[in-house]
Amino acid sequence: GHIVRNWKVRWFVLLQDKLLYYKIEGGKKEPHPKGRILLDGCTITCPCLEYENRPLLIKLKTKTNTDYFLECCSREERDSWALDITGAIHAGHPVQVQELHKMKNSFKLLENISLHHIVEKMYDNSTGIKLTRNLEQGNRYKETFTGSALVDWLISHSFAVSRFEAVTLASMLMEENFIKPVGARSTEAMRYSDLSEQFLDDSTALYMFAENSNKNISSKEELQFNIAELSGTIVKQGFLVKQGHKRKNWKVRKFVLRADPAFLHYYDPTKEENRPVGGFSLRGCLVSALEDNGVPAGVKGNVQGNLFKIITKNDIHYYIQASSKAERTQWIEAIKPLT
């Protein structure tokens, strides 16, 4: 509420020039809107970090300087709403709208700038990112920086123009092993979230340069958790093709299905180290086959046939392709009892 600062569920309808919101009674929206937000002259902030315990916010500031805070149910939903609202704000500028839609799920590194160049700048003694000591859950970490500090640094040095771009860029630095998460908050995101959510734009999530990690990480709790996660009985394993969450490309991964505890991990077969590059708990998951008549919604590229989808309890969608219908059926039947 922008008068009484409480939080209420509202049904939103986005029109070309305004955002309407309705009260919900008995599971249905009322026929007349409770209020409206005029989009002409609005500015949008996403992600909005003004409420530390509400990471899924969008902030709208009207041209009369009224602030509206809208909380979504998932990051995927937040980013989708933010993109469409931004498109409506710029509705009179079709070129900008076209560029916005191109940007979605297709962020590319600026030309002539490499990840190595960014890391070199991060190391600079005078203008690089500031390294500090941090304490988290009894563990002390040297030479670390927070996720939000890295996002701020990337924007201030013109490597990204928005927090969305900066988070994507930071995720690429992490995926290419230039930086590593340390501490429970950031490592948990790395372990359980999809790729687009593994790097946290957060003032409590800690990171460090990968080359410094060996002398800094000594948390027995994290080690024990890794051991517990990978200690289950192997039920099934084999090679499948998986769609990436960030760049939406398809890569061969070795999948290992474990029970007690029930986890599905995937490994990069091109790497010698026997450590998963991703994985998730199967508790509360939904698994289903996808139709073979064309490319299903959510699948990028001309990939058809023998596809199945796993939706985690956090509403993260994994798209996987087997080599045959029989193999797809075998994997689904093996996974279902563990959910």
> Model confidence at 246, in pLDDT bands (50, 70, 90)?
low
pLDDT score of 96: 52
CB atoms within 10 A of CB 295: 15
Indicate if 227-336 has the same CATH topology as 10-105: yes
- Regarding pTM above 0.75, the answer is no
List of E strands, the chain: 11-14, 18-22, 24-25, 28-29, 35-38, 43-48, 57-61, 67-71, 132-136, 139-146, 179-182, 206-209, 233-243, 250-259, 263-267, 278-281, 286-289, 307-311, 317-321
Please indicate whether residue 99 or residue 76 has the higher confidence score (pLDDT).
Answer: 76
Closest CA to 168 of 47, 299, 58, 250: 47
Q: State what percent of residues in the chain have pLDDT above 90.
A: 21
Torsion angles phi and psi, residue 161, rounded to 5: -105, -10
Collapse the DSSP code of 333 into the 3-class scheme (helix H, G, I; strand E, B; otherwise coil) and give the result. helix
> Model confidence at 164, in pLDDT bands (50, 70, 90)?
confident
Architecture of the domain made up of 227-336: Roll (2.30)
- Is pLDDT at 220 greater than 50 in this prediction? no
Residues 6+ apart with CB under 8 A from 76: 196, 315
Please compute the mean of the pLDDT values over residues 212-237 and round it to a whole number. Answer: 62
Please compute the mean of the pLDDT values over residues 158-183 and round it to a whole number. Answer: 84
- CATH topology (fold) of 10-105: PH-domain like (2.30.29)
- Is pLDDT at 166 greater than 80 in this prediction? yes
Residues 6+ apart with CB under 8 A from 134: 140, 141, 144, 146, 183, 206
Rg (CA), the chain: 22
Distance CA 137, CA 213 (A): 18
Q: State what percent of residues in the chain have pLDDT above 70.
A: 81
Distance CA 259, CA 227 (A): 14
Among the CATH numbers 3.40.718.10, 1.20.140.10, 1.10.760.10, 1.10.10.10, which is that of 115-216? 1.10.10.10
Mean pLDDT check: name the lowest of 5-14, 104-113, 237-246, 304-313. Answer: 104-113
Residues 6+ apart with CB under 8 A from 48: 57, 58, 59, 69
- Residue 28: beta bridge partners? 25
Strands 24-25 and 57-61: unpaired
Whether the CB-CB separation of 154 and 169 falls below 8 Å is answered with: yes
Whether the CB-CB separation of 73 and 55 falls below 8 Å is answered with: no
Domain ranges of the chain: 10-105, 115-216, 227-336
